[in-house]
Structure 1
Amino acid sequence: MKLLFIADPLGHFKIYKDTTFAMMREAARRGHELWACEPRHVSWQSGGRVTAVAREITLTGDPDDWYAAGGDTPLALADFGAVVMRKDPPFDSEYFYATHLLEQAEREGACVINSARSLRDHPEKLAVMEFPQHVPPTLVSRDAQAIRRFHAEHGDIILKPLDGMGGLGIFRVGPDGLNLGSITETLNRQGTQTVMVQRYVPEIVHGDKRILIIDGEPVPYVLARIPQGSEIRGNLAAGGKGVAQPLAARDREIATDIGARLAPRGLLLIGLDIIGDRVTEINVTSPTCFQEIQQQTGFDVAQMFVDALERAIGRSRV
């Protein structure tokens, strides 16, 4: 069947680690047709259906020139077996508008993964609010005085923007409070933007664990992203070292609890970030780490995902 991947430009992919590429490779192995476009190529006009100007792509096996593409072809999203939304954050206005286009495509019969409404309803920093039993002490506010009070209570805190990714814009402020005012002003932009503040979790030295949940089922291995040197961030994009580990019993409990709640909402793929036993983020836009886990453990995460994708397509046709 035809699968459409809505993603960042293909020329930007680092295929040795890219999760979307791993999905494509497994889907192609099973004989599915691969199509690709960017969000800017999706449109709607009254009297018609939501359409993407997409290109059919063929994987070449050449790491330097990894795909061959056909010509631009306008196709209704509902004519694909599934539409896999893999655009990276930030979740900005254009991403928000894209979810509305995708939701209209769903009304027209398209199978969108992850579902458009759930992408919109579960912003990656704020989705943790539904699971307070699993998160560290957390404040979401634009109020500088509220942030100061939170710091006074907890002493050692992490501040981060709500729309960041890859560790961008994350700050730690210790008990001395050094630069708290300046950091707050930078992140909340003089009180005009909301910030997330969390108590520092010292277990970060053992890694910020990425736990993948596919169709409600946790992947049996995690990728612990371990900060290097004096860095506090474990994100791979910030220089963290990724070490695959078996899924611990407590992490399985947390992932199973969250997966059981979120998977029925159309979130086929979820990436939890857990430090120690505290959930810090719930990633639903384009969770990664498929290839790092497979390369280190042999477990084929992409195979598990495409199995689930095919089941979701089957359910959508009932």
Structure 2
Amino acid sequence: MRIAFFVNAIESETSYYTTTSLAIAAIARGHEVCYATPGDFVLRPDDSLAVRVTTPGAGKPKSADTFIADLNEKANLKTIDIREIDVLFLRNDPSLDADERPWAAHVGAMFGRLAVERGVLTVNDPDALAKAQNKLYFQDFPKVIRPSTLISKSLDEIRAFIDSQKRGVILKPLQGSGGRHVFKIKSSKESNLNQIFEAVSDEGYLIAQGYLPDAVEGDVRLFVMNGRPLEKDGCYAAFRRVPAKGDIRSNISAAGTAATVKVTPKILEVAEIVRPKLVADGMFLVGLDIVGDRILEINVFTPGGLQNLEKLNGVDFSSSVIESLESKVKIRQIYGSQLPNAVLATL
């Protein structure tokens, strides 16, 4: 099986990324992996779709650091027909390209659709990813698992919403990731609200969410695969993201730390509520960020933290993800194009 990981840029990949763990797990299971980036697709006059892929050096890597070094220094570049790929795994973050390379932000979903039309299993399903380019996608899920939310570019609307929330609000860009430009606002009368509004609104619409008191301990990142919590050897793929002292952001990329967490019936109930839509949308692997009985965010593009989980719990979750892809490829070989990509993605 050949798996192509679609990422923002080869040079920005790191040893601690979840994509790296998945790639190493695939190689360990005897598969070939390669990487593609937004500028690598070619749609030719005969309507064939080609892609230039970067393949790491031959052999099983000794470590994640070795793998990344080989990917950057010893990689082979070649252009192949998209049909030579069994799985196209879309793992790019559109928000990282939104400012400097806006043309690149939606390439994964665009060419992912073309790959699907040519028989390539593509996860997560590109049609659903096209609808999830920003946090508006989250608003399609049941209200019972969402905090009170306002989306607007009007400072007056935002002030009024803040006044309606006794515990304050979290204000952030509608399209963003990694904890960038995330602020806690306690009162609409805060002296720096205008400056915060200007800083965040430069990136487009703002999303304001009622603050959840339990967030002071961070949030729980729960991986969901095929619509159900990822579990192996009796251990759930979940960890608590603890914010740094004096910071409201629990993102690991924003100095948050990972800690073990007990997955409670309440957490499982929240996951069960979102399961039907995740399955219907063909969302193969996602990360739910949960506080209490609410979800703050659903990461459908680049859910990260598998390496943290594997170190904390000594469980190889990455292999379970690859094993699931193996099963889907076998089903595709039997059924051909009879099963839509979105259906196959979450079987």
The alignment's TM-score, normalised by the length of structure 1, stands at 0.92
Q: 1:173 aligns with which of 166, 182, 185?
A: 185
What are the equivalent positions in structure 2 for 1:177-216 lying under 5 Å apart?
177-178=189-190, 179-189=192-202, 193-216=204-227
**Paired position in structure 1 for 2:164:** 153
Give secondary structure in 1 for the equivalent of 2:80: strand
Contact 2:88 2:122 in 1 (8 A): yes
Q: 2:78 aligns with which of 37, 58, 73?
A: 73
- RMSD over aligned Cα, in angstroms? 1.9
* 1:176 CA drift (Å): 5.8
Q: Deviations over 1:33-83 (max 9, x none)?
A: 111121211231331322211132244315543236453211122221111
* 1:235 CA drift (Å): 0.8
Give secondary structure in 2 for the equivalent of 1:149: helix
Distance 1:72 1:48 in 2: 22
Answering whether residue 330 of structure 2 is matched by residue 314 of structure 1, we say yes
Q: Deviations over 1:235-288 (max 9, x none)?
A: 111111111213211111111221232123221001111122211111111111
Distance 2:304 2:331 in 1: 25
**Paired position in structure 1 for 2:22:** 23
Distance 2:31 2:293 in 1: 39
Q: Aligned letter for 2:149?
A: T
Q: Percent identity?
A: 25
**Paired position in structure 2 for 1:118:** 128
**Paired position in structure 2 for 1:254:** 270
**Paired position in structure 2 for 1:51:** 50
Q: Aligned letter for 1:250?
A: K
* 1:193 CA drift (Å): 2.2
Distance 2:64 2:18 in 1: 15
Change (3 A) 1:130 1:304: same
* 1:312 CA drift (Å): 2.5
Give ranges in structure 2 of 5+ residues lacking alignment: 231-235, 336-347
**Paired position in structure 2 for 1:60:** 61
Give secondary structure in 2 for the equivalent of 1:245: coil
What are the equivalent positions in structure 2 for 1:64-103 lying under 5 Å apart?
64-66=65-67, 67=70, 69-90=74-95, 92=98, 93=102, 94-103=104-113
Change (3 A) 1:151 1:223: same
Distance 1:311 1:215 in 2: 12
Distance 2:125 2:80 in 1: 19
Give ranges in structure 1 of 5+ residues lacking alignment: none
Q: 2:256 aligns with which of 237, 240, 245?
A: 240
Contact 2:38 2:107 in 1 (8 A): no
Contact 1:221 1:245 in 2 (8 A): no
Distance 2:315 2:273 in 1: 23
Answering whether residue 18 of structure 2 is matched by residue 2 of structure 1, we say no
Contact 1:53 1:73 in 2 (8 A): yes
Q: Aligned letter for 1:61?
A: K
Contact 1:89 1:165 in 2 (8 A): no
